[in-house]
Amino acid sequence: MFESRPDRSAEVVLVGRSNVGKSTLMRELTGHTFDTGQRPGVTRQPNHYDWTSEDFVITDLPGFGFMSGVPDDVREEIKTDIVRYLEEHAEKILAAVLVVDGKSVIDIIDRHSGPDEIPHDVEMFHFLRELEIPVVVAVNKMDKVDDRDERLNELCDRLGLYPPWKQWQDTIAPITAKRGSIEPLTDAVRDHLHEQQRDDLLQFF
């Protein structure tokens, strides 16, 4: 179980599969580099970036889903820990950023959609909403996507949001973290913070 969380009353979390660019995004948001493994599944504990004076923390949770070389039981354990963490701290989490890879997310979702299977990303999106945590889906690596609007509309469709995606700009944020173009995401997070009367935290986004 993740025991390292600083005792803060306000939190924004990053969740997502391995290799979607969460750590890069975390670095863009905090200006701070974290030790990340070169292989998926190396980050087994959350990375917390803590602003003690503001009673606020940004947390990058470990990646979930398929990871080459990581046994199934370890994968399941990580996912269980993530779910438990989110349930336990739901009341303090002001927004969750679900990071997906814009280039591959539709294929991955479709490959895992079936009568007995809900794709991890879709499941996580709905789980966060059930916990009443505002969710922003950061669609990363958009510089590699040609049919941008079409791809984002398809993602909305898979998540159960009616396209066109542009009506969901507080939920769908196309970004390229590696190039530092994350404004749609920071705008969306700021909207959610403002709605929760936490304008004191806008300075961090």
Q: Residue 64 has what pLDDT? A: 86
Average pLDDT of 26-45? 73
Picking from 22, 88, 77, the residue whose alpha carbon sits closest to that of residue 44 is 77
Q: Residue 42 has what pLDDT? A: 57
In one-letter notation, the amino acid at residue 202 is L
Ordered by where they begin, the domains of the chain are 10-192 (3.40.50.300)
Q: Residue 32 has what pLDDT? A: 83
Q: Residue 134 has what pLDDT? A: 97
Q: Residue 37 has what pLDDT? A: 56
pLDDT per residue over 133-164, tens digit each? 999 999 999 999 999 999 999 999 999 999 99
pLDDT per residue over 82-136, tens digit each? 999 999 999 999 999 999 999 999 999 999 877 777 788 999 999 999 999 999 9
